[in-house]
């Protein structure tokens, strides 16, 4: 992996031809008279380094006998004032002020405490404690202790010591011991031994802990984050997760914090200001890279769309450039992408649905209750929803059979005549066996004018061999023709080849083959035109090989291929496909890659997109909720809250209504 070494990675550098007196005069002029020249103030302050700003403060005091920060506070207001005044303080004093604000007054801003104390180096922590003492004549540790409690407090105190080991020499024995201790303190214990987590995560070096996390995953099959989520809770859990994120990659931690500060409704300006000010001379370039890779848009474009006025201009100057322009991919981002594949390759994720068989199942009682709910005037939707969403699919099939035996009626037909709209689509979907449901969705996607390629791609690219075989049989049985024939006549070109190939359900299921993986990575690199060398082989045959690699190699093997691809090119395969290809073919290949990387996350993204913005895409929402409810909807929920900082339950609730909403929430199965 490329290493950025000790090159400067900030976005703000010393201003050439700097003259402190001249700058002090310019600021004085900008604030003189009625109304201030905000443009001049922001231009000047955002193009000087912190060290130079300190000199300007000195000169200002010498020239005018006034305090520059006080004058700025008087002239400016709101978020813009916070940002500019923040830039004028030395970093340690800026951090001290943020912490002081977080713990004074009513209530504590735990998120601010967590962000600062989890991400700063030993040296920065020591400087912060000194600055705090100097600025407020108080002891930082004592103030934090007075304002927090429990294990959360203990871990903050450990971090405040600034005594994390810093050597890069790692002892394998100690790594193994720490893995054992963490596993025994959490997963293997009734109750949790928090002290072990605090001691190990609070004191060991970053290099050592990265190996501990890798080893923990290999040994237990559980990512350390999942253990922390399962074993700890509240602010203590959030703090420990932040510590783990910063150890894995500080720039990635901040990229994620920035993304969460801006997406959705309302911007969390305090977080945005704090990160842009505090990282502008440390690792803003790394943060931008990771942001671009992870969220497929540049930090610059997100700030631009999310803020306004002088505040926006100043933030964009601190950001320092728009990575969308070049669509570049960088070493830091490659490192993060590589780690994501490593995690994907080793994690033994236990898939869990939200709908399970009901224990004291009585098909006769259910059939009777459903008949009663539909008989006479009006329909009792609550009973229908309650029964259908709380039975497994096998149990629903038994209810259908019992209903027919008792009443000589078809339950599906009765339901169809009693309920309508989105609720009907959802309930009838749940009543069908999964393969028949998928077959119907595929059929509908191809019927009439225009094809719903997205639905075809989503279903065919995410189902396993057994599921695909069952879909083929159901399709033949229900529509008396083969799925392959319909796909062939309804799609064309490369997309047709991909879909037909996926519809055969012949994906390899064996382990990885490392020599083959290198060869496969080379083919992908050549097709995406970023290979250093070219092998013999014309474009069409390479394209065929490329598609057959993605459509027929096992998931396990593909994870290795995509890692080799990063080693070979310093690019992430998903990012590259998005950049180099277009249309439905791109969407299909990206879906395969995302499905290999993390299938629950792929569905979490689809669900989020189906509900964000104006209007809801009920078709997609219904299809995913029905088809994943017994497979991995619980995992999807976890990925959803992790990525979007909102629970799936919450987003469904704010986006839907009536009986359809009731049924969706019953399937969702709980608030996270």
Bin 189: left if φ > 0, else alpha if -120 < ψ < 50, else beta.
beta
Q: 393-407 and 363-374 are packed helices; what angle lies between their axes, rounded to 10 degrees?
A: 70
HSE (side-chain half, CA atoms, 13 Å) at 387: 26
H helix or E strand, kind and range, residue 169: none
Task: Judge contact between 204 and 167, C-beta under 8 A.
Answer: no
pLDDT over 90 percentage in the chain: 76
Task: Judge contact between 590 and 501, C-beta under 8 A.
Answer: no
Task: Judge contact between 128 and 95, C-beta under 8 A.
Answer: yes
Q: What is the 3-state secondary structure (H, E, C) of 311-322?
A: HHHHHHHHHCCC
Which position has the higher pLDDT, 340 or 90? Answer: 90
Q: What is the pLDDT of residue 314?
A: 97
Please count the other Cβ atoms lying within 10 Å of the Cβ belonging to residue 527: 21
Q: What is the pLDDT of residue 150?
A: 95
Token pair, residue 55, equals: 């000199």
H helix or E strand, kind and range, residue 529: none
Q: What is the pLDDT of residue 334?
A: 76
Lowest mean pLDDT among 4-8, 231-235, 478-482, 649-653: 4-8
Q: Which of 185-189, 229-233, 540-544 has the highest mean pLDDT?
A: 229-233
Q: Tell me the C-alpha distance between 36 and 271, whole Å.
A: 26
In whole angstroms, what separates CA 215 from the centre of its chain? 23
Report pLDDT digits (tens) over 554-610: 999 999 999 999 888 888 898 888 888 889 999 999 999 999 999 999 999 999 999
Q: Tell me the C-alpha distance between 335 and 330, whole Å.
A: 9
Q: Name the 3-class secondary structure at 403.
A: helix
Q: Tell me the C-alpha distance between 561 and 545, whole Å.
A: 14
For residue 463, pLDDT over 60 is answered with yes
Q: What is the pLDDT of residue 336?
A: 76
For residue 507, pLDDT over 80 is answered with yes
Q: What is the pLDDT of residue 535?
A: 53
* Mean pLDDT within 483-492: 96
**Residue 207 dihedral angles phi and psi, to the nearest 5°:** -60, -45
Q: What distances in angstroms separate CA 463 from CA 151, 467, 471, 558, 586, one per listed residue? A: 43, 6, 9, 16, 19
Report pLDDT digits (tens) over 44-74: 999 999 999 999 999 999 999 999 999 999 9
Q: Tell me the C-alpha distance between 18 and 48, whole Å.
A: 8
Q: What is the pLDDT of residue 454?
A: 95
Q: Tell me the C-alpha distance between 47 and 54, whole Å.
A: 13
- Residues 6+ away with beta carbon under 8 Å from 504: 468, 484
For residue 211, pLDDT over 60 is answered with yes
Q: What is the pLDDT of residue 327?
A: 47
Q: What is the pLDDT of residue 555?
A: 94
Q: Which residue has the tokens 């942001």?
A: 291
Q: Tell me the C-alpha distance between 209 and 246, whole Å.
A: 11
Q: Which of 191-205, 413-427, 528-542 has the highest mean pLDDT?
A: 413-427
Stated pTM of the model = 0.77
Report pLDDT digits (tens) over 337-352: 787 787 777 777 788 9
Report pLDDT digits (tens) over 493-504: 999 999 999 999
Binning the chain into helix, strand and coil, the percentages to the nearest 5 are 70, 0, 30
Q: What is the pLDDT of residue 331?
A: 66
For residue 329, pLDDT over 60 is answered with no
Mean pLDDT over all residues of the chain?
Answer: 91
Q: What is the pLDDT of residue 168?
A: 79
For residue 532, pLDDT over 50 is answered with yes
Q: What is the 3-state secondary structure (H, E, C) of 258-273?
A: HHHHHCCCCCCHHHHH
* Mean pLDDT within 106-130: 95
């Amino acid at each position: 992996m490329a290493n950025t070494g000790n090159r400067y990675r900030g976005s703000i550098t010393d201003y050439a031809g700097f003259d402190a007196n001249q700058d002090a005069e310019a600021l004085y002029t900008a604030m003189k008279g009625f109304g201030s020249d905000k443009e001049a103030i922001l231009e000047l302050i955002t193009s000087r380094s912190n060290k130079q700003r300190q000199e300007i403060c000195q000169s200002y005091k010498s020239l005018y006998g006034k305090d520059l920060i006080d004058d700025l506070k008087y002239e400016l207001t709101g978020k813009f004032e916070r940002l500019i005044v923040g830039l004028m303080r030395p970093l340690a004093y800026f951090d001290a002020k943020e912490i002081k604000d977080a713990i004074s007054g009513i209530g504590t801003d735990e998120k601010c405490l967590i962000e600062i104390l989890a991400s700063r180096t030993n040296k920065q922590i020591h400087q912060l404690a000194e600055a705090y003492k100097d600025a407020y004549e108080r002891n930082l540790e004592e103030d934090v202790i007075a304002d927090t409690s429990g294990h959360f407090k203990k871990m903050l105190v450990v971090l405040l010591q600034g005594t994390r080991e810093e050597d890069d020499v790692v002892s394998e024995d100690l790594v193994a011991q720490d893995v054992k201790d963490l596993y025994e303190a959490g997963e293997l214990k009734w109750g949790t031994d928090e002290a072990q987590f605090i001691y190990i995560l609070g004191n060991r070096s970053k290099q050592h802990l990265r190996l501990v996390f890798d080893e923990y995953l290999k040994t237990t099959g559980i990512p350390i984050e999942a253990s922390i989520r399962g074993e700890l809770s509240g602010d203590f859990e959030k703090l420990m997760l932040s510590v783990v994120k910063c150890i894995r990659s500080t720039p990635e931690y901040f990229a994620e914090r920035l993304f969460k500060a801006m997406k959705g409704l309302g911007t969390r300006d305090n977080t945005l200001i704090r990160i842009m000010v505090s990282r502008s001379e440390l690792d803003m370039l790394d943060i931008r890279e990771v942001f671009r890779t992870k969220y497929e848009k540049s930090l610059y474009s997100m700030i631009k769309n999310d803020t306004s006025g002088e505040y926006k201009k100043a933030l964009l100057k601190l950001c320092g450039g728009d990575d969308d322009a070049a669509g570049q991919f960088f070493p830091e981002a490659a490192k993060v992408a590589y780690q994501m594949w490593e995690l994907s390759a080793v994690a033994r994720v236990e898939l869990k649905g939200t709908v399970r068989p009901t224990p004291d199942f009585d098909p006769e009682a259910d059939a009777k209750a459903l008949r009663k709910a539909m008989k006479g005037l009006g329909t009792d939707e609550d009973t229908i929803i309650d029964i259908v969403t709380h039975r497994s699919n096998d149990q629903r099939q038994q209810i259908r059979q019992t209903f027919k035996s008792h009443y000589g009626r078809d339950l599906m037909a009765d339901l169809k005549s009693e309920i309508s709209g989105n609720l009907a689509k959802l309930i009838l979907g749940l009543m069908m066996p999964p393969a028949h449901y998928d077959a119907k969705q595929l059929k509908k996607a191809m019927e009439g004018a225009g094809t719903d390629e997205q639905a075809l791609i989503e279903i065919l690219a995410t189902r396993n061999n057994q599921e695909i075989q069952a879909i083929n049989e159901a399709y033949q049985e229900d529509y008396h023709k083969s799925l392959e024939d319909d796909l062939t006549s309804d799609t064309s070109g490369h997309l047709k080849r991909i879909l037909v190939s996926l519809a055969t359900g012949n994906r390899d299921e064996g382990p990885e083959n490392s020599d083959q993986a290198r060869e496969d990575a080379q083919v992908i690199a050549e097709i995406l035109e970023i290979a250093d060398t070219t092998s013999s082989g014309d474009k069409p045959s390479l394209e065929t090989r490329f598609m057959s690699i993605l459509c027929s190699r096992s998931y396990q093997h593909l994870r290795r291929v995509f890692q080799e691809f990063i080693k070979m090119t310093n690019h992430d395969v998903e990012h590259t496909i998005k950049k180099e290809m277009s249309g439905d073919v791109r969407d299909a290949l990206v879906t395969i890659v995302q499905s290999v990387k993390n299938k629950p996350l792929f569905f979490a993204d689809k669900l989020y997109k189906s509900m964000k913005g104006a209007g809801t895409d009920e078709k997609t929402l219904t299809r995913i909720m029905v088809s994943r409810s017994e497979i991995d909807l619980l995992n999807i929920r976890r990925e959803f809250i992790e990525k979007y900082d909102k629970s799936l339950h919450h987003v469904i609730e704010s986006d839907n209504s009536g009986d359809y909403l009731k049924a969706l929430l019953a399937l969702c199965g709980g608030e996270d």
